[in-house]
Amino acid sequence: MSSWEGKSKGNKLGYSIFIATLRYGGVLPAYVLLRFVAAYYFIFSYSSSRPIFNYFHTKIGYGWWRSLLSVYRNYYVFGQVLIDKVVVMSGIGNKFTFEFEGEKYLREITAAGRGGIMLSAHLGNWEVAGHLFRRLETRINIVMFDGEHERIKKYLSSVTGERNVNIIVIKDDLSHIYAINEALSNQELVCMHADRFLKGNKTVQANFLGQQASFPAGPFLLAATFRVPVSLVFAFKETSTHYHLYATQPREYHGRRRQGVELAVQDFVMELEEMVKKYPEQWFNYYDFWELPKTD
């Protein structure tokens, strides 16, 4: 069965075409071009279409035809949020508006002067939220797998000119743990996704949308170990030009580490499920999310 391999689809030529369209035509022409790209993946990418169809059909409860239509819609919205990310981060003229629900909670974290952790998922457009977090006036550290093709990352970096965040790459030698510790010691924010893991990584199980699913243990272990305020953060595209950002009230996971991990997982999955039900077409995990790791 399919699983996440730590990298995303796409190539440098595809990014180049869209960025050229954005520069010379704006967002709307890019959205028009995107309809053809979404149709291509809808028709030819069976490996990703099958699990996302099953998600709509068996987890969200849509009928067969609505699930099929939602697969195409999901590809199209995914393309839109990628385009929006480039537009916002590069300063290309746009009409985007933002509603930030819970910004005060993140300001409470920064004002406390202890650093904090923000957990999110591959749901909605977290990258846009991360870009806007700069107004919190503290350094943002994003923890990520180094699974993207380097040439594409370098190309996008040269285009967007994003220099306002620090990337902490997850490595086998665990050096990222020391980098996270240093960031928190410097009273900075550390952001990471808590819904994906690579094969062989330690996981925790929780009931998600009616079935047991695996989540990476790392983010929750960090929350319980460092004992700093933790907020769950999401951003969703509600119209062509409007985003709704959410941040939950910070919580600290004290007590024994195992108990702290369990509570952190419970809080995260509960919030994630609520957001998925509210924005089902913005779930962007294109593999069998509910396939449990095999044990020897």
Q: How far apart are CA 62 and CA 43, in angstroms?
A: 20
pLDDT at 244: 94
Structural domain total, the chain: 1
Please identify every stretch of the chain with a pLDDT value under 70, giving residue numbers as ranges: 1-19, 21-25, 129-134, 146-165, 255, 294-296
Q: Report if residue 162 sits inside a domain.
A: yes
Pairing, β 203-208 against β 211-216 = antiparallel
- Give the contacts of 158 (CB within 8 A, at least 6 positions apart): none
Torsion sign across C-alpha atoms 287, 156, 170, 102: negative
Q: What is the pLDDT of residue 215?
A: 96
The reply to whether 5 falls in a domain is no
Helix (H) or strand (E) holding 68: helix 64-90
Backbone phi and psi for residue 208, each to the nearest 5 degrees, phi listed first: -130, 120
Q: Which range of residues forms the domain containing residue 222?
A: 12-282
What does the pLDDT read at residue 93? 72
Residue 1 lies in a domain: no
Domain assignment present for 256: yes
Specify if 289 maps to a domain.
Answer: no
Q: How far apart are the C-alpha atoms of 261 and 66, rounded to whole Å?
A: 37
Provide the whole-model pTM: 0.86
The verdict on residue 294 lying in a domain is: no
For the chain, give the mean pLDDT. 83
Q: pLDDT tens digit string along 85-117?
A: 878 777 777 788 889 899 899 989 988 888 999
Sheet holding 140-144, edge to edge: 97-101, 242-247, 230-237, 116-120, 189-193, 140-144, 165-169
Please count the helices (runs of H) and the strands (runs of E) in the chain: 10, 9
Q: Does residue 292 form part of some domain?
A: no
According to DSSP, the residues that pair with 98 across neighbouring strands are 243
- Does residue 6 lie within any of the structural domains? no
